[in-house]
Structures are given as C-alpha cells and as structure tokens.
Amino acid sequence: MKMKLAVLAVMVLPMSSGAVLAGDAAVGEGDFKKCKACHAITAADGTKIVKGGRTGPDLYGVIGRAAGSSEGFKYSASLAQAGEGGLVWDEERLAAFIADPNRFLKEATGAEKAKSKMTFKHKKGAEDMAAYLATLTE
Ligand code: HEC
C-alpha cells in the first residue's frame, strides 16, 4: 500500500509542473551512443533503428509504456514493482530515471533499498534523450 501511494505521488506531481520537457531530440539521438552498449532500438516490424547490446531492454516505444514491460527482459525487482504499481514512462519520468536510476526507484517505490539493474547515470542532456526516445514510437 505504501508503495502504491508513492508511485501515485510520482505520477501526479510531474503533471502539475507540465510533463512535456523542452528537450532537443537531435542532441539526444547523438548521445544515444552512450546507451547502445546496453540498449537496442527495434521497431515493431523488426527494423533495427539502433543496433545495440542486450544488457538492457529494447527502448523502442518506451515513452508511453509501463515501466518494466519490455517482453522477455528480466528487470530488477524494484523496476518491475514500480511498473506493477502503475508507473508509465513519460518524458519527465524517463529523464529523472536515467539521471539517477536508483534514486528514482527509491522515490517511485518508497523502498529505501530500491535498486536498479541500470548502473549508468545520464545526468547531462537527460531531457534531450527523453525527447529523442519520444520520437520512436508507432
Ligand atoms: C551498462 C548498461 C546500460 C547503459 C549504458 C544504459 N542502460 Fe538503460 N538499462 C540498463 C538495464 C540493465 C536496465 C534494466 C533496469 C532494471 O531492471 O532495473 C535499463 C533500463 C532502462 C530503462 C527502463 C526501460 C523499461 O523498459 O522500463 C530506460 C528508459 C533506459 N534504461 C534508458 C537508458 C538510456 C537512455 C541510456 C543512455 C543514456 C541507458 N539506458 C544506458 C542498462 C543500461
């Protein structure tokens, strides 16, 4: 119950401050080289937009989908829990997650020990990355 309330807080607060960020998608696209060691981007029809590693889930259509819902990927318990609790990625939440995954999941789940399997932090240009990923959807 405590977890659900925390997730709700994360979902409601960004809306009041406006969930669309002023990121630059072109800058984000250039920065994706930092992500592709672990993430690929594959369109629904199988087209490989970015060939990448499999340490992390495929990021096609990530904006608008529930956290932790890429089929076949084994997420950390914390990220799976946040998704089950109703967390859906929008630009603001995604930018906050990639800037500091552990901290984001602590806030989203309300669990002090929450931990992400993503060890990389993308602090500078997180909004640009969110804007880029928002373009990759149906
Ligand atoms: C060292 C490998 C690694 C790098 C580099 C990395 N990630 Fe990740 N990423 C992961 C892993 C592993 C997960 C799954 C996290 C979990 O289960 O807690 C993840 C999860 C995510 C998710 C959540 C996806 C979902 O389906 O809920 C997003 C969004 C994401 N990464 C974006 C990025 C972006 C953008 C970059 C580049 C700035 C990046 N990642 C760099 C390994 C990485």
Residue 87 has a pLDDT of 97
- Report yes or no: 63 and 91 within 8 Å, Cβ to Cβ: yes
Alpha carbon 4 to chain centroid distance? 19
Mutating to test ligand 1, I would choose from 10, 69, 118, 128 the residue with most ligand atoms within 8 A of its C-beta, which is 118
Task: Specify the CATH architecture of the domain 2-134.
Answer: Orthogonal Bundle (1.10)
What is the percent of the chain with per-residue pLDDT over 90, rounded to a whole number? 83
Q: Whole-prediction pTM value?
A: 0.89
Identify the segments of the chain with pLDDT beneath 50. Answer: 12-18
Residue-level pLDDT at 20: 62
- Answer whether 62 contacts ligand 1 (Cβ < 6 A): yes
* Structure confidence at residue 22 (pLDDT): 85
3 state DSSP class of 94? helix
Probe target for ligand 1 pocket from 27, 36, 38, with the most ligand atoms within 8 Å of CB: 38
Report, in this order, helix, strand and coil percent for the chain, each rounded to 5. Answer: 45, 5, 50
How far apart (Å, rounded) are the C-alpha atoms in residues 28 and 1? 36
